Copies of this chain bind each other. A is one copy, B any other.
Amino acid sequence: MSADGDVTTTPVALQDAMRQVATEIDRHFDLLLEVPDDARGRLYDAMRHAAIGGGKRLRPLLVCAACDLFHVDRQAALRVALAIECIHVYSLVHDDMPCMDDDDLRRGKPTVHKAYDEATAVLAGDSLQSLAFEILADEATHPDPFVRIELVAELARAAGPAGMAGGQMMDLAAETQAFDLPTVTRLQQLKTGALIGFCLEAGAIMGHVPPEGRGRLRGYARDIGLAFQIADDLLDVEGDAAAIGKAVGKDAAAGKATFVSLLGRERAHQQADMLVGQAIAHLSSYGAEADLLRVIAGYIIERDR
């Protein structure tokens, strides 16, 4: 399962945890996105289409696993998980648009601009971003306003131009510029790493771990973030569109530098394995409460979609 001999959580336990989180996230979205009986209905329908019933819910799972380390209240963990998933889903909706990646298929369903239209896709993405911050700011998420405001600050930074959105801009530039390995690494640390980093940071914030005590969790997040992206690049060349639920082979077709194009498939696999081992090593001071994080690290490079 992983490079760490102490892992006791089984793949079955991981599957259970994933299913449970996915069910809870769907249930929360269903309650939150009640469709109003006026012309805004189409917007809510589009948000539901994008948010409900799909995806691995990896980020929510990471939030919950990080919260397990510090015995954080499950409802608080799920509310934060919901907020991060709002940001992730909004980024997918906008990223799929014709002016960006131009994808017709996402999570095995038509993308939002295909099922609705481009204007609705813009507004649905925008609305999901607002919703993320509305969720975090709500007392129902956490009784301590210091915790809530730190979560808002961290998520805004992770999602914004110095984080995810900045990484997406670099990703667009990668279509016309020949990026080297350090630049592709930086791009991916922003594009996917910043949000994954927030998932772990959120556990630490709710666990009242001071910033100077979050180094190992940040190391774990950085390593699995890169491993995740390498695995994604490998799926893009080795994967099957039907199983993945989205188009494959797009990076190569666009002539874009990726970990795979720069390292070759064999070294990319090795690098991903190394990063997973390193991520798990960051957790060595934790006991069984970190087992879910350990199996997630292994899962990240073994997933087939």
Contact = CB atoms under 8 A, between A and B. Distances in A.
Interface stretch (A71-79, A126-134, A258-266): A126-134
Number of copies of chain A assembled together:
2
Given A43-B165, A123-B165, A173-B39, A130 B187 contact: no
Interface stretch (A9-17, A144-152, A200-208, A219-227): A144-152
B44 A127 contact: no
B145 A149 contact: yes
Interface of chain A: mostly helix, strand, loop or mixed: helix
Given A134-B157, A137-B149, A156-B134, A127 B165 contact: yes
Interface string A182-219: 01001100100000000000000000000000000000
Interface centre among A127, A145, A168, A173 (most CB of B within 10 A): A127
A277 interface: no
Interface centre among A100, A156, A177 (most CB of B within 10 A): A156
A30 interface: no
A65 interface: no
A131 B39 contact: no
Given A131-B156, A134-B160, A152-B152, A166 B126 contact: no
A293 interface: no
A187 B99 contact: no
Interface string A162-183: 1101101110111001010001
Contact of A160 (B122, B131, B161): B131
A290 interface: no
A251 interface: no
B130 A159 contact: yes
Contacts of A123: 94, 161, 165, 168-169, 172
A119 B118 CA distance: 13
Contact of A99 (B117, B170, B172): B117
Interface of A: 36, 38-40, 42-44, 47, 90-91, 94, 97, 99-100, 117-123, 125-127, 129-131, 133-134, 136-138, 145-146, 148-150, 152-153, 155-157, 159-163, 165-166, 168-170, 172-174, 177, 179, 183, 186-187, 190
